[in-house]
Amino acid sequence: MNIKVKFLALVLSMLMLVPSSVKADEGMWLLSLIGKNYSDMQQKGFKLTADDIYNINQSCIKDAIVGLGNAGSPFWHFCTAEIVSDKGLLTTNHHCGYGQIQEHSTVEHDYLRDGFWAYTMEEELPNPGLTASILVRVEDVTNQVLAALNDDMTEAERNKAIVEVSKQISAKAKEGTNYEATVKSMFNNNQFFLFVHNIYKDVRLVGAPPSSMGKFGGDTDNWMWPRHTADFSMFRIYTAPDGSPAEYSKDNVPLKPKHHLPINIKGVEENDFAMIMGFPGTTNRFVTSYGLEEVMNITNKLRYEIRTQKINVWKAAMNADQAVKIKYASKYASCSNYWKYSNEQNKALKALNTIGVKQDIEKRYNEWAKGKDAKYQNVLSEIEKMIAARKPYMAARTYLAEGLLSGPELPMQAFGVQMALIQAENATAEEKAKIMDELKKEAKTFYKDYDQALETKTIATLFEYVYKNIEPEYCPEFLAEINKKYKGNFEKYAADAMKKSVFANEETFMKFLEKPNVKKLAKDPMVVAGSGAYMDYVAVAKKIKNAAPDLDRMQRLFVYGLLDMNGNKPIAPDANSTIRCTYGNCLAYEPRDGVYYSYYTTLDGVMEKEDPTNPEFIVPAKLKELWNAKDYGRYANAKGELPTCFITNNDITGGNSGSPVMNAQGHLIGLAFDGNSEAMSGDIDFEENMQRCINLDVRYMLFIIDKFAGAKNLINEMTIVE
Ligand code: ARG
């Protein structure tokens, strides 16, 4: 990873301090412990054995489940995919492959708009940096880790010791193999598990429907049921000729998987068993009522408000220009997804009185703590105090992070370049050449998806918004100066800044790189803004830490209490991007009084939603023809309809996107792709009556591959159960 990317990754990981969380029919279960749930699974209709899900000595379902990641952080899985042929073919969501589809798109070959299909393996498109990881084994290493810890340690010492011993454990697990390994903490550092993976690095794009199908409904339908989105795309894993993971090479061969999922088109009925395996990212189910209040009133609220500013500016520019639309499509989607989520989650948390639920749990904890060791006393009142103490800084941090660091792009881009150049100054000639080379490459990638006019507008809008809304005490100095110098005219500032900055566009930047003057660079308006915002962010983050020095420890003790209170009843740890299994049933629901939502949708609903005047609801002519002809073939249900999506009560979250929904036999029946707005509180508290997982029906997917795209090559390599 180049140094600039490394730096940005660090910043991004800091920005990710987004709350996460969960609770019970609930459960994102660890695979190695799934035996504990086995009788419950059987009761719900499961027909296989626990060994069919996870067994390290024989092929099993886990061998077909793939975590999609990036080379820089391969253990952070942004999505899930599943192997559906003996040649390493993968299915995942359209919104998971979106970044890759976007990267390969140009105005001439707009795969976002028109879709993409490889009719031979030669036509498949490589995606450097994309990784696919498959679990080899998971092991409870709690005792090994705890042996290195003691109660006299401060939390910082403790965390350091955890990192050390975790490194040793994973190094040992990798010895003499091609595997990658990591130790992950569970239950807020109360337990620890080792995960050993094969991580494949040559993953090629195979197919995607047009966005008018893969993203049908857009932001309007996002996080909503009923849904009619063909949210799938296809990839393939390649390996070195000996089957080991390897970087892209034309000599690589398709993966020969240990297991692939048969695809069952017999259809899914209400109450049928449904199981999902994948890589849920983050949940926050052990958060206290105090922490939750902070999430609602600061993080979610401000994130929504700040992103609304950015989204409005971007949307207008994208709708006005096809080239801008392609460039910004993927960046826009990642911003808008959690923009809407933040707002819907707050609505659900209020409607379901989740604070009240948390308060009840806290009462029970306090009862439990009575008569226990002193360290368990006052845990909750300490948490309350610390969260109150950090309140003023939390809002400031959100403005800085959302409005400045990840709002416009140039300030952080500029700051990252400055850091790299400073490093180059003190490096050997050889290292320096390498850094310069990487900077050039990175800039090419950056400016490929960049529009100067739009960035100018984004800077003007967000700088002004932050200036006007952040508590003056925490307003970065550079913003106050801009306001003074330009008398509040941030548009004039942005236009001026662009004239002066070497970062304004690819041409100005490449010219600068030919003879970089690091001293002068410090005065570049984008460096001034980027470094100013970043330093302020770091300072505020430090204040947050100092105001709540013991929060992690208190949270760990609180969760220890909850586990102990729970006795022997299985309870699942929060999601942390490790592989999990969740099971349940296909189920309708009532979102509001007097309203009933069926458990499935059909192609007829796509036509009902059609609106040629709204880019989110356009239906391609070819799909309409197929609908008119009712030419559904073997993909129709018994009523002659073409099913599109269905819902289940599985417990999933972001990162699960693309996960296989399997029937009682472990056959693929759907692809999980969303959750429902009414239970958007689910990451904090699983809502048994309301929480639904929204899935693409495999029959709609196969229909599109077969009849819409005519990609018989793909149909023929899959195992289809009729
Ligand atoms: N909400 C979905 C998730 O987080 C993403 C859906 C993508 N579709 C969209 N219209 N943005 O997994």
- The band of 18, judged by pLDDT with boundaries at 50, 70 and 90, is very low
Q: Is the pLDDT of residue 17 over 70?
A: no
In the predicted structure, residue 12 carries a pLDDT above the cut 60: no
pTM of the model: 0.93
What is the 473 CA–ligand 1 centroid distance (Å)? 37
Query: Which ligand 1 atom sits nearest the alpha carbon of residue 675?
Result: 1
Structure tokens at 235: 């990839």
Arithmetic mean of pLDDT over the chain: 95
Whether 667 is a known active-site residue: answer no
**Atom of ligand 1 at shortest range from CA of 338:** 4
Is 32 catalytic? The answer is no
Distance of CA 186 to CAs 114, 194, 573, Å? Answer: 43, 11, 6
Cβ–Cβ < 8 Å for 20, 283: yes
Of 94, 95, 260, 667, the catalytic one is 95
Predicted pLDDT of residue 568: 82
- 224 CA to middle of ligand 1, Å? 10
Instruction: Tell me which of 101, 330, 339, 673 to substitute to probe ligand 1's pocket, judged by most ligand atoms within 8 Å of the beta carbon.
Output: 673
Predicted confidence at residue 713, as pLDDT, reads: 98
Residue among 212, 657, 678, 696 whose CB has most ligand 1 atoms within 8 A, to mutate: 657
Average pLDDT value for residue range 617-634: 97
In this prediction, residues 265-272 reach a mean pLDDT of 96
User: Looking at residue 25, what is its pLDDT?
Assistant: 59
Answer yes or no: are the C-beta atoms of 466 and 483 closer than 8 Å.
no
Band of residue 19 on the pLDDT scale cut at 50, 70, 90: very low
Could you give the percent of the chain with pLDDT greater than 90? Answer: 94
- pLDDT of residue 3 exceeding 70, the answer is no
* Arithmetic mean of pLDDT, 264-285: 97
Residue 697 has pLDDT above 60, yes or no: yes
Q: For the chain, give every domain's residue range.
A: 289-553
Per-residue pLDDT tens for 479-515?
999 999 999 999 999 999 999 999 999 999 999 999 9
- How far does residue 95's CA lie from ligand 1's centre (Å)? 6
* Spatial distance between the Cα atoms of 344 and 348, rounded to a whole number of angstroms: 6
Structure tokens at 609: 């939603």
- Short-list 352, 398, 421, CA closest to 684: 352
d(CA 412, ligand 1 centre) in Å? 26
Residue-level pLDDT at 688: 85
Ligand 1, residues at Cβ distance < 6 Å: 95, 215, 218-219, 222-223, 333, 337, 654, 657, 673-674
413, 503 contact by CB (below 8 A): yes
Q: What is the per-residue pLDDT across 158-206, written as a single tens digit (0 to 9) for each?
A: 999 999 999 999 999 999 999 999 999 999 999 999 999 999 999 999 9
The residue nearest atom 7 of ligand 1, judged by CA position, is 95
DSSP per residue over 434-482, as a string? HHHHHHHHHHHHHHHT--HHHHHHHHHHHHHHHHHHS-GGG--HHHHHH
The residue whose CA has the least distance to atom 2 of ligand 1 is 674
Contacts of residue 396, Cβ cutoff 8 Å, sequence gap at least 6: 470, 471, 473, 474, 540
Q: Quick one: which atom of ligand 1 is closest to the CA of 656?
A: 12
Confidence of residue 533 (pLDDT cuts 50, 70, 90): very high
**Residues 306 and 407 sit within 8 Å (Cβ to Cβ):** yes
- The mean pLDDT value for 303-310 works out to 98
Residues 50-97: pLDDT tens digits?
Answer: 999 999 999 999 999 999 999 999 899 999 999 999 999 999 999 999
Instruction: Please identify, by atom number, the ligand 1 atom nearest to the C-alpha of residue 95.
Output: 7
Give, for ligand 1, the residue of 222, 315, 334, 653 to mutate: max count of ligand atoms closer than 8 Å to Cβ.
Answer: 222
Residue 536: is it exposed, middle or buried by C-beta count within 10 angstroms (0-12/13-18/19+)? buried
CA angle 374, 375, 381 (to 5 degrees): 100
Q: Report pLDDT digits (tens) over 434-471.
A: 999 999 999 999 999 999 999 999 999 999 999 999 99
**Alpha carbon distances (Å) from 495 to 217, 230, 289, 486, 675:** 36, 41, 45, 11, 41
- Kindly state the average pLDDT of the residues 612-632: 96
Active-site residue 228, yes or no?
no
Reported as a single tens digit per residue, the pLDDT across 20-61 is: 332 235 899 999 999 999 999 999 999 999 999 999 999 999
